[in-house]
Each structure stands twice: as C-alpha cells, then as structure tokens.
Structure 1
C-alpha cells in the first residue's frame, strides 16, 4: 500500500464526483423504467463494453483466486444489493437523501474493521464515529418531520451495509492486474442476480424519451464502468480504508448535482448533518494515520 499522494487524491475526487452523480441519473431512470430491469441491463451493457476494452488492452481471464473472490463478492454486495436496493428506493425518495445515507459507508467500514478484524480505534476515531452518528440523527430527524418514505430509507440503509461488506472484501482481493476485466466480470455477476427479482417482481413497462436514454447511457459509461474502475485502481494504490474516505464527497456532490439537475432542496439540518458526518469521517481517517518521523 502506498501513501496517499496527489494522483490518489485526484483519482479519489474524480471517483467521488462520478459516484455521486449516479444518484441523480438513477433517480431519472427509475421515473421512466422499472429499476431492477434497468439496472440489470445497465450491468450487462457495462460488462460487455468493459470486456471488449479489456481484451483490446491485452488483459485476460486468468485472474488470481483473490480476484475471483472480489468478482463474486463485489458483484453481489455492491452491484446486486447496494445498487439494486438504491434503485428501488429512489422510486420514492430523493437522490440527495440516498447520497447522504450512502456517505456513512466509511464510518461503517471503520466500525466493522474494529468489530470484525480487531483493528484498534484511537480516541479520535471513536469521536469520529460518534460524530457520524450525530450527523445521521440530525439529518434523519429533520427529514422525518416532512414527507419521507421510511421503507425507501430502510432499503438505503441495508444497501450501505452491503457496500461496506464490498469495501472490506477488497482488503485482500484487489491485486493481480487485469483490473478492467475484474470490473467487467463483477458487472455480469450483478446483472445475473438481478434478472431473477426483476422478472418475478416487475413488469417491463418503459416510457421511452430522451431523458431516459441520456441518463441510462451516462450511468452505463461513467458511474457504471469508469468510476468502478477508478475505485479498483484507488484501492490497489492506497488500500481499502484510506480509499473509503473519498466517499465523504458523496453527500456534497450528490446533493449539489441533484439540486442543479433535479431541483431538489436541502435544509439547514441537512447541511449541518453533512458537515458533521464529513468531520467524523476525517477524524476516523486521521486516527489511522501513523506519525511520521522527522
């Protein structure tokens, strides 16, 4: 694992913007198409494009054992559960709220690292976790006073737990090269497990218009393929836990993009809550930094 350098920071910011934009494009898609069908098709398209590019780049199917683990675990937890549940949830909740819930992932990852892997958390890290809880409570408290779909929020909460599992699974499964091939194959895993629920629970009823075409195409190419590829490179470069800090960009950019493109509003408690969550995430990450000798 390398130190976080300027290249890693640029990669992380690019990932954060792309990842956050997916909430807005997903919100548009589910207004005109059934969410699970749309997501299964998105993964199928992203996977096919990715494999063609990977083969053209000289990559191959000979993955390491850890990479095959990453393909299956990441495909199920991130693509199938995290994104699948988010797509369903955004039929009834705003993109900004979904992005705020997703921003708690680094805090959950830090907590799980302590609870599951026995990593020690310094006092600053404990304060960061508590700050994250306070921020979420403030946001949820303000939102609950308005018209909010609790079932949709619950789906987002389950989805972010799945994303935490996906991130922790990358601790030992991100090396070995063939990154684009790995990304493409885990897209197929996500598509495969979504087709069953899509065919059972949904009717393929689509309202075709330019908004749907643009949103779907963007989601396939940018958040679906490019952002995931950058994430794999970032985790390989600096490690899963340091890379997770860039998810703190999700609420800011998620709310900003949703406000610009969808006209969604954010109240004062949302702003305060996002700032507290961000401070909490940074505190957790700072607590993990080893002091450097002069």
Structure 2
C-alpha cells in the first residue's frame, strides 16, 4: 500500500513525539500480524477470493469515509490513468502475498515483503528529482540484498533441495520479494505522477477499487468458487485485514504523514518484519534457523540505513 499525504507545508511537520511513536509501533505490530491473519483465513477462503473480498470491503469503507468528510473521489483531475495503474500494481502485490503465503511461512514472507523500502529508494533515485541516494543508503541496499540472498540459501539448504516442499517454499519466498518490488513500484508511481497532488483518500480508493475488480476476476478465472467450512477465526481474520489494515491503519498512516516528518516515520518500518517473525513463531508455531535470523538481521539493518535521515 502506498500513497501520498495531502499537501502540507514542510514547516508544519515536526519530529515524531510520544504520541506518534506509540501510534507507529501499534501500526507496525498490526502490519506484522497481517501475514498471520492471511494464513488463518486461507484455511476457509481461496487466496484470490480472500484478497478480493478484503479490497472490496475496504473500498466501501473508504467511500463512506470520504463521503462523510466531503472528499471528492470521482471528480476529473487528471489522475485516472495513474490511479488505475497504481491499482493494478497494488493488486499484483497482493496476488504475490496471498499466493506466496500458501507456499511459505508468515515469518519468511514478512522479511521478504518488507524489502520494499530498499526497492523504493532505488526507484525514487532513478525516477524522482531530488531523491538521489546517499552513500549510506547504497550501503543499506547492498546489505539488505545480501540478506535476501542468504535467506534464499537458507530455504534451499534447510530442506531437501530436490523435494517439492523446498521448491514450493522458495517460490513463496520469491513471491514475497516480488510483492515488495510491486509495493515499491506503487510508491514511486504515486510520487512521480499526478497522484502526488491527489488526496490520500482518493489515491487509496484507486488502489482498493481497481485491485478488488482484478482480484475477484482472477478468483473467478481460477475457479475459486468453492469456500470450505467458514470458521469464526477465518471471518475474524478477513475482517481484520479489511477493516483494521486496509482501512483504519492506512488512514492513520496518512494522518501521521500530514503532521510529522515522513523521513523520521519511515525508520519505524524495520519493526514490521520483526513483529511478523515474532507472531509467526508464537501464533503459528513456525521455526527458523540461525542462518535465517542472520539474514533477517541483515535485511533489517539495511532498511534502517536506507531510512537514515540525512544530516542537516
């Protein structure tokens, strides 16, 4: 998920205070728990159907929110083309996440998916003026990519290299990285096009509405009409994704961006994969090796270096 905050004078944005820090930690924990919720709901809902329903519910909630605040969502402002493309990229990201989680663990998905800040820094460096990377950021990207390579090696060496389960796990890991790349591409698109001047609600609406259509069409095309026994836990997991993550958490993030410095907020992103790994181990009983934890630490250190604020 990526979008831009409503235009606001830089002087009005301040360093995060105690409130912002607490809210960011809660948001990162919620985002880290998302992979666990998807895994739980996968037991009842086919992956693309689950993803499509999630986006559809959140689209309706964003429409209600915008209507209550008088935010125009359907006024012509030159953002349609970029908005549809953002929605396609957003939908592709969740194809990777939801399919990937049928093949790999929530812990590994959390680490691979949150390589997105590194891909974002590369994209902004190439496509957005004034976003050139510094030496420390190049170092961070190199460290994170070395961590990715080590994590892939762990997935290959930890099991039988010739077994189907090992190959499936590696495919799931690769989908996690691809999901992070698509997430980053969405961010760069928003920053580099007319969407940068659109309201946060409208940009989010584009992403959710277009992805809902694509994901539900894909679900139909794959013949995902069968829904196994729906449990209360699966319904709660789906509601969590749609209401808490795709609606409440994203709007809260945008609220923070209108009041606090984005560079200082983004450094908290390294907490999300930590929460993701922790929840996967504690709630799903997932296991990890020392090699994978070393790889995860390298990725997290790289993310921190990429988000390191420049000295004034």
**Pairwise TM-score range, normalised by the shorter structure:** 0.7 to 0.9
Paired with 2:132 and 2:205, the residues of 1 have a C-alpha distance of 35
Deviation at 1:229, TM superposition (A): 1.8
Q: Does 1:192 align with 2:213?
A: yes
Which residue number in structure 1 is paired with residue 4 of structure 2?
Answer: none
Residue 227 of structure 1 corresponds to 249
Rounded to whole Å, the distance in 2 between the matches of 1:64 and 1:269 is 52
Q: Deviations over 1:232-288 (max 9, x none)?
A: 3345556776654433222101111122221112322232222222222222222x5
Q: What is the SS of the residue equivalent to 1:32?
A: coil
Q: Which runs of 5+ in 1 are unaligned?
A: none
Task: Report the alpha carbon displacement of residue 35 of structure 1 after superposing the two structures with TM.
Answer: 0.7
Is 1:269 aligned to 2:291, yes or no? yes
Given the superposition, is the C-alpha separation of residues 89 and 243 from structure 1 closer, same or farther in structure 2, using an over 3 Å criterion?
A: same
For the 8 Å contact 2:112–2:177, the answer to whether it is kept is: yes
1:37 to 21, 42, 49: 49
Separation in structure 1 between the aligned mates of residue 201 and residue 255 of structure 2, nearest angstrom:
10
Which residue, 113, 120, 123 being the options, matches 2:124? 113
Query: 1:206 matched to which residue of 2?
Result: 227
Shift of 1:81: 0.7
Which residue matches 1:260? 282
Distance 2:84 2:263 in 1: 20
Judging changes above 3 Å, is the alpha-carbon distance between structure 1 residues 66 and 289 closer, same or farther for their aligned structure 2 residues? farther
2:227 is paired with a residue whose SS is: coil
Relative distance call for 1:242 and 1:39 in structure 2 (3 A) is: same
Correspondence for 1:91 = 102
Is the aligned partner of 1:23 residue 2:23?
Answer: no
Change (3 A) 1:176 1:115: closer
Contact 2:119–2:184 (Cα < 8 Å) also in 1 = yes
The offset of 1:174, in angstroms, is 4.5
Equivalents in 2 of 1:28, 1:213: separation in Å?
9
User: Do structure 1's residue 284 and structure 2's residue 306 form an aligned pair?
Assistant: yes
Indicate conservation of the 8 Å contact 1:85/1:156, yes or no. Answer: yes
Q: Following TM superposition, by how much is the alpha carbon of 1:11 offset from its aligned partner in structure 2, in angstroms?
A: 4.3
Structure-2 change in CA distance of 1:174 and 1:266 (3 Å): farther
Unpaired runs of at least 5, structure 2 = 1-9, 160-165
Q: What's the TM-score once normalised by structure 1's chain length?
A: 0.86
Deviates more, 1:248-257 or 1:120-129: 120-129
Q: How many residues are paired up?
A: 288
